[in-house]
Structure formats: structure tokens, C-alpha cells
Structure 1
């Protein structure tokens, strides 16, 4: 496994990294690593990962 940022390709160990995982069955599977929250936010925006998502109150 490498240490490249999923968004920008920089070495995440040189920054304050954010690791993202999702639940698969009863285990967590890594799905991304980012230099910081700025790279994570930019990735979410560019991939339109929030499109169609809504919260119900």
C-alpha cells in the first residue's frame, strides 16, 4: 500500500492525513487517504459525492 494522497498524489505522511473507510459487512475497507481535509473536500466536490444526498428531519 502506498502513501499517496487519493486527490493530489502527495505523500500523506508529510502532512496531517485523513483516512477514509467504509463498512463492508462487519469490517471496514479503506477507500481513500488524503493529505488533509482540504484535499478530502476538493475530492468530494469534484466527484460530486454529495449529489442526490439529503437528510430527513
Structure 2
């Protein structure tokens, strides 16, 4: 994986970097890296990642 932001392509380490992982079985796998919350939010909106999504709550 490079140091490029998943959304804008800038070097994530020059900003307030965020790293996203997804659960796959018992493992967590990298799913993206972003310069800041603005890039993460824009990526979520443009990719329509909220539709049909819900949080899992273990009780």
C-alpha cells in the first residue's frame, strides 16, 4: 500500500491521517487511508457507502 489518500491521492502522512479496516472472518484487512475526515466523508458520500449499511452490536 502506498502513502496516497484513497480519495484525493495526497500523502496521508502530511495531514491528520485516518486508516480504515474491514472485518473479514477473524481478520481485519486495510480498506483505505485518508488525509483527514473531510476526505473520508467525501469518499463515503461519493461511493454511496451508507446505503444498506448498519452497525453490528454484540450484546
Q: Using structure 1 for the length normalisation, give the TM-score.
A: 0.88
In the TM superposition, structure 1's runs of 4+ consecutive aligned residues that sit over 6 Å from their partners are: none
Distance 1:25 1:45 in 2: 26
Unpaired runs of at least 5, structure 1: none
Unpaired runs of at least 5, structure 2: none
User: How big is each residue's C-alpha offset from its partner over 1:6-53, in whole Å with a ceiling of 9 and x where there is no partner?
Assistant: 000000000010100001111100010000000000000001111233
Aligned residues: 55
Q: Using structure 2 for the length normalisation, give the TM-score.
A: 0.85
Matched, 1:37 2:52: no
